[in-house]
Chain A
Amino acid sequence: MDETLILARAQFGLNIAFHILFPSLTIGLAWILVFFRLQYARTGDAAWLATFKLWTKVFALSFAMGVVTGIVMSFQFGTNWPGFMTKVGNIAGPLLAYEVLTAFFLEATFLGVMLFGMNRVPAWLHILATVLVAAGTSLSAFWILALNSWMQTPTGHIVADGTLIAGDWLRVIFNPSFPFRLAHMMLASFLTASFVVAGLSAWRLLKAPKDAAARRTLRAGALLAALLAPLQIFVGDLHGLNTLEHQPAKIAAVEAIWKTGNGVPLVLFAIPNEEQKRNDFAIQVPRLASYILKHDFDAELQGLDAFGASTPPVAPVFFAFRLMVGMGAAMLALAWLGAWLTRAGRPAPRWLLWVFSAFTFSGWIATLAGWIVTEIGRQPWLVTGVLRTEDAVGRISGAQLGASLTAYGITYAVMFVAYMVVLTHLAGKGAGAAEPHPQQGFVRGAA
């Protein structure tokens, strides 16, 4: 049974971690595409059209990766966690159904029109299709984060015959952590997308320094990131305070606070020692954790000892949090630097292009680290206070799980390598080469 639990978690974790990469890029990128499309509609400038077409290809590629890995997830709820559906299916089911009904069909259908329909439909319908794809991806985020937030901070349900049913759907959806998680994730997606846009444009500029379209998209990505990064830090802080209120055990793990006490120090770095319940090699600032979390240097903070056996493993949560914050700070610094150095049409220095290229996928690292904090930080609960992860696992044999884990692992590796190869190839060619028949660019639909 233990083996099944570990393998089921490893498999679901692998799948969800691989899956989240692509939506976290496409949710933000979809709206950036709307911007490019509107710029083209406004100016009629063929360079904006070429830019739109290049990034549509990146979008299509990433979207397809997100769709196919997402389908795997809809099956793994049943194969890996049948206890989840038995216990809370009456809540999770409708939220997932609304995601399929309101978001999946919308984005999938209009993606076809956006990608292939430019010369077949009037310009307004093509713009509308682009907006609807973006709206679909955001709606999808809305529903899945409503469900995830409800699992973190469940409200609005009643218990009937051992299972849960919704008492008040509005309270189920707008549960306490939902607004913060939604804002945090949407911003994360926009930051991820803006660094991908800036990073791949920088990659292109290293090869073709005179590419005007790439200069423009580098600047757009850097500016957007420079604007959103401070906002994200602010929202992230609010999200943390909300977590302190509703899931104090998670915060205790994030800050590696083992014992409840007053005037708790902020641990900058340490190696959490799970066995002896203390931190080794700790570097800490006295009383600062109390101040940051309660705005009072002497305030009491609950440590892990206050929650008995219901605490998450400390080390992964502690390190992932520091990785997320560190990456966020680096992204903020680079975005501001990039926005400053490219001001008023100045060309970016070569070293900056290298740094932006290196930071292309920084958003992925920060996002994955953030999800590790929030999901491992929720353990041992699957639904906080309602259902433990170990009670939801199914009865698939370890051999079957192992075989399928291998199959998924190989498939994902092939897909990921191919994705990276094609992405760098597309970016290297740039927007100009992406349009083999530039004269077609002026055909603006049948209208």
Chain B
Amino acid sequence: MTLDLPLVFALLMGAAILAYVILDGFDLGVGMLLPGADEREQNRMVNSIGPFWDANETWLVLGIGILLVAFPVAHGVVLQALYLPVVAMLVGLMLRGVAFEFRLKAEGWHRELWNWLFWFGSFLASLAQGIMLGRYITGFEPGFGYLFFALVVGAALCGGYVLLGATWLILKTEGALQRKAVAWARWGLLWVALGVALVSLATPFVSQTVREKWFDFPATLWLMLLPAASVAAGLRLWVVAGRLGRGEPAREWAPFAHAVAIFALAFLGLAYSLFPYVVIDRLSIWDAAAHPSSLTVVLWGAAIVLPFIIGYSALSYRIFRGKARETLYE
């Protein structure tokens, strides 16, 4: 039996992108929530993501790297079609990334400026990623309707990242800030519910390929498990967050775990919609795949190195477990 290399790499790329969306998603969400907090709270918020953001962002490089390595033709097509949102995302990520350092060392209005750029960079990157997703699902079709659809997806993704960021803060903070985070998480959840519902309803209309995959009885009945599970996770999140907000005993990691579950389910639905295309209706993963010789050599490397990466990432989260403090450099 020979390994279906393009399929293996499609799975790897999917895993890397999902890891990125969840990990940098909570970073970016925390960044977008900064204006809602006072200065000391802002320090705790940024410190809760300080040791992680850099490694989290590396999953984006891995995801885009796998696209480049495994599907070089698609890499060119996708990135050229998404040129402007990609530039916006990169500018956003740059501002956000250096703001970590600059806001710590700057003083007075400089510090205010970098706090603002931290928020702006997080927001710009999130919105751009959502727009990219919206454009990607619809196969980069031109026209006002499609652009509007992309904007809606962009707004929905911002809400999703806010949800991840707020639930992360519930886990990593305490006291008044934690209660604030509960309120943010509930708003984020409403926003996500609205966004996911809109996108799920609209996607079959904008793409025939997606429509045929989802409305194919009796498979449709099984597929309905995905939205049902998402709704269940959302309701559970709402309830648990409410308990924490009222100071009743509840598991502090539960809201974050449920937010992650919602993201994973939405991602699965999306992956099902698109498979086996890497550029919808145009390029399947087998059309776009690189030469087996280069895929094999990368697969070996990934098989050996990824367990280490996962291991020491887990170590890092373990070292920095517990509540975030106000001072960073100890």
Q: Count residues on chain A whose CB falls below 8 Å from chain B CBs.
A: 71
B98 surroundings in chain A (CB, below 8 A): 61, 64-65, 68, 415, 418-419
With A102-B305, A110-B312, A165-B294 in contact, is A86–B72 under 8 Å at CB? yes
- Asked if B246 is at the interface of the complex by the 8 Å CB criterion, the answer is no
- Asked if A79 is at the interface of the complex by the 8 Å CB criterion, the answer is yes
With A90-B290, A93-B68, A408-B91 in contact, is A116–B328 under 8 Å at CB? yes
With A112-B316, A396-B80 in contact, is A57–B330 under 8 Å at CB? no
Within 8 Å by CB of A440, from B290, B312, B330, lies: B330
Alpha-carbon separation in the docked complex, A102 to B309 (Å): 9
Alpha-carbon separation in the docked complex, A426 to B102 (Å): 11
B330 touches A116 (CB 8 A): yes
Name the CB-closest residue of A to B96.
A68
With A100-B61, A113-B319 in contact, is A72–B94 under 8 Å at CB? yes
B73 surroundings in chain A (CB, below 8 A): 86
A411 touches B330 (CB 8 A): no
Q: Which of B82-90, B159-167, B222-230, B272-280 contacts A (4 or more CB under 8 A)?
A: B82-90
Question: In whole Å, how far is B249's beta carbon from the nearest beta carbon of chain A?
Answer: 27
Question: In whole Å, how far is B217's beta carbon from the nearest beta carbon of chain A?
Answer: 40
A67 surroundings in chain B (CB, below 8 A): 54, 57, 97
B68 touches A77 (CB 8 A): yes
A85 touches B75 (CB 8 A): yes
B51, B52, B329: most-surrounded residue (chain A CB, <10 A)? B329
Question: In whole Å, how far is A100's beta carbon from the nearest beta carbon of chain B?
Answer: 5
With A105-B309, A165-B293 in contact, is A94–B69 under 8 Å at CB? yes
Question: In whole Å, how far is A51's beta carbon from the nearest beta carbon of chain B?
Answer: 14
A-contacting residues, B237-293, CB 8 Å: 290-291, 293
Alpha-carbon separation in the docked complex, A319 to B93 (Å): 36
A-contacting residues, B51-80, CB 8 Å: 51-52, 54-55, 57-58, 60-62, 64-70, 72-73, 75-80
Question: In whole Å, how far is B328's beta carbon from the nearest beta carbon of chain A?
Answer: 6
With A64-B97, A97-B65, A105-B309 in contact, is A116–B329 under 8 Å at CB? yes
- Asked if B112 is at the interface of the complex by the 8 Å CB criterion, the answer is no
Alpha-carbon separation in the docked complex, A64 to B121 (Å): 14
Residues 101-114 of chain A: 1 if any B CB is under 8 Å from the residue's CB, otherwise 0? 11011101111110
Within 8 Å by CB of B301, from A57, A98, A396, A425, lies: A98
Q: Which of A117-125, A296-304, A344-352, A382-390 contacts B (4 or more CB under 8 A)?
A: A117-125
Within 8 Å by CB of B329, from A53, A93, A111, A408, lies: A53
With A67-B97, A108-B58 in contact, is A75–B293 under 8 Å at CB? no
A110 surroundings in chain B (CB, below 8 A): 312, 316
Name the CB-closest residue of B to A98.
B301
Alpha-carbon separation in the docked complex, A112 to B57 (Å): 13
A63, A78, A83, A169: most-surrounded residue (chain B CB, <10 A)? A78
Within 8 Å by CB of A75, from B79, B105, B106, lies: B79
Within 8 Å by CB of B80, from A82, A100, A403, A426, lies: A82
Alpha-carbon separation in the docked complex, A408 to B86 (Å): 12
A90 touches B291 (CB 8 A): yes
Residues 265-305 of chain A: 1 if any B CB is under 8 Å from the residue's CB, otherwise 0? 00000000000000000000000000000000000000000
With A79-B83, A422-B106 in contact, is A160–B298 under 8 Å at CB? no
Alpha-carbon separation in the docked complex, A148 to B86 (Å): 25
A104 touches B61 (CB 8 A): yes
B329 touches A121 (CB 8 A): no
B106 surroundings in chain A (CB, below 8 A): 418, 422
Alpha-carbon separation in the docked complex, A329 to B119 (Å): 46
Question: In whole Å, how far is B143's beta carbon from the nearest beta carbon of chain A?
Answer: 18
B93, B94, B302: most-surrounded residue (chain A CB, <10 A)? B94
With A74-B61, A101-B301, A440-B330 in contact, is A395–B80 under 8 Å at CB? yes
With A71-B90, A97-B65, A407-B87 in contact, is A112–B75 under 8 Å at CB? no
A396 surroundings in chain B (CB, below 8 A): 80, 83
Question: In whole Å, how far is B70's beta carbon from the nearest beta carbon of chain A?
Answer: 8
B-contacting residues, A372-396, CB 8 Å: 394-396
B77 surroundings in chain A (CB, below 8 A): 82
Within 8 Å by CB of B58, from A65, A83, A105, A425, lies: A105
Name the CB-closest residue of A to B88.
A407
B65 touches A120 (CB 8 A): no
Name the CB-closest residue of A to B52.
A112
- Asked if B320 is at the interface of the complex by the 8 Å CB criterion, the answer is yes
Alpha-carbon separation in the docked complex, A419 to B98 (Å): 9
Name the CB-closest residue of B to A99.
B65
With A165-B291, A407-B91 in contact, is A89–B68 under 8 Å at CB? yes
Question: In whole Å, how far is B273's beta carbon from the nearest beta carbon of chain A?
Answer: 23
A91 surroundings in chain B (CB, below 8 A): 294
Name the CB-closest residue of B to A411.
B91
- Asked if B101 is at the interface of the complex by the 8 Å CB criterion, the answer is yes
With A86-B72, A116-B330, A411-B95 in contact, is A100–B65 under 8 Å at CB? yes
Alpha-carbon separation in the docked complex, A425 to B107 (Å): 11
- Asked if B220 is at the interface of the complex by the 8 Å CB criterion, the answer is no
Question: In whole Å, how far is B118's beta carbon from the nearest beta carbon of chain A?
Answer: 12
A260 surroundings in chain B (CB, below 8 A): none
B91 surroundings in chain A (CB, below 8 A): 407-408, 411
Alpha-carbon separation in the docked complex, A75 to B63 (Å): 11
Alpha-carbon separation in the docked complex, A61 to B97 (Å): 10
A93 touches B294 (CB 8 A): yes
- Asked if B306 is at the interface of the complex by the 8 Å CB criterion, the answer is yes
B83 touches A400 (CB 8 A): yes
Question: In whole Å, how far is B68's beta carbon from the nearest beta carbon of chain A?
Answer: 5
B54 surroundings in chain A (CB, below 8 A): 63-64, 67, 108-109, 111-112
- Asked if A206 is at the interface of the complex by the 8 Å CB criterion, the answer is no
Question: In whole Å, how far is B317's beta carbon from the nearest beta carbon of chain A?
Answer: 10
A112 surroundings in chain B (CB, below 8 A): 50-52, 54-55, 316, 320
Cβ-closest 6 pairs across A and B: A82-B76, A112-B51, A89-B72, A93-B69, A78-B79, A68-B97
Since A104-B61, A109-B313 are in contact, a sample of 9 more A-B pairs with Cβ atoms closer than 8 Å, ordered by chain A residue number, is A57-B105, A61-B105, A69-B94, A78-B75, A85-B76, A89-B68, A97-B66, A121-B319, A166-B293
Instruction: Please list the residues of chain A having a beta carbon within 8 angstroms of any beta carbon in chain B.
Output: 53, 57, 60-61, 63-65, 67-72, 74-75, 77-79, 82-83, 85-86, 89-91, 93-94, 96-98, 100-102, 104-106, 108-113, 115-121, 160, 163, 165-166, 169, 394-396, 400, 403-404, 407-408, 411, 415, 418-419, 421-422, 425-426, 440
16 contacts between A and B (CB under 8 A): A68-B94, A72-B94, A79-B83, A82-B77, A82-B80, A89-B290, A93-B69, A93-B72, A97-B66, A97-B298, A104-B61, A105-B58, A118-B330, A160-B291, A407-B88, A418-B102
Instruction: Please list the residues of chain B having a beta carbon within 8 angstroms of any beta carbon in chain A.
Output: 50-52, 54-55, 57-58, 60-62, 64-70, 72-73, 75-80, 83-84, 86-88, 90-91, 93-95, 97-98, 100-102, 105-106, 110, 114, 290-291, 293-294, 297-298, 301-302, 305-306, 309, 312-313, 316, 319-320, 328-330
